[in-house]
Amino acid sequence: MTLDVERLGEAERPLLLAHFLALPATDRVLRFGTALGACVIAAYVERIDFRQDTIFGVHDRRLALAGAMHVALRDHEAELGVSVLPVYRRRGIAGALFRRAFEHARNRSVQRLSLQWLSSNAAIARIAARFGVETVAMGVETRACVELPGPSPASIAGEWLRDALGAYGGALKAFVAGWQHRRG
């Protein structure tokens, strides 16, 4: 599976909802900080403002979301939320989503990214460490903040290129999936 990170839009709300509902109950707790039922998750997905926030996703070959990153932008700060389906873990998806979110936030002059997770979530702690994020454990939760540099011509061009490559990769996956479906 290639790691084409695509920017999702309004039309992908059903895919995002299906992704969250496909997470096992323990993973829903890790993603949302508490056990949430299907109706609450559906309401969360419906409330996402795609004009202000950004959702990035990595699709599998059948076009389901293998992983998703929510970048919630507020003034000059952003909060991140990530999830990857268990079958797709340890394939670099979360790392690719984090890199894309950092770049996206930087190019919007976001000065600080924040992340918060349950301290028992070792996977996110490993990713934060890989990106050099300093963390502060606060009992059952861990919090991290990252100061971002301002945008540069290289970071803006890089984001434009990754958006184009993500869209191209997604279109190619859709073409292949449609072709395979027609073949039987």
DSSP for 91-123, please give it. Answer: SSHHHHHHHHHHHHHHTTT--EEEEEEETT-HH
**Interval 121-144: pLDDT, tens:** 888 888 888 887 888 888 888 888
**Host H or E run for residue 27:** helix 25-32
- Return the pLDDT at 2: 53
What is the pLDDT averaged over residues 6-12? 93
Report the number of distinct structural domains present in the chain.
1
Domain CATH code at residue 130: 3.40.630.30
Structural domain for 83, as ranges: 5-183
For position 71, what pLDDT does the model report?
96
The least confident of 39-48, 55-64, 96-105, 121-130 is 121-130
Looking at every residue in the chain, the average pLDDT score rounds to 88
In the structure, what pLDDT confidence band is assigned to residue 63 with cuts at 50, 70 and 90?
confident
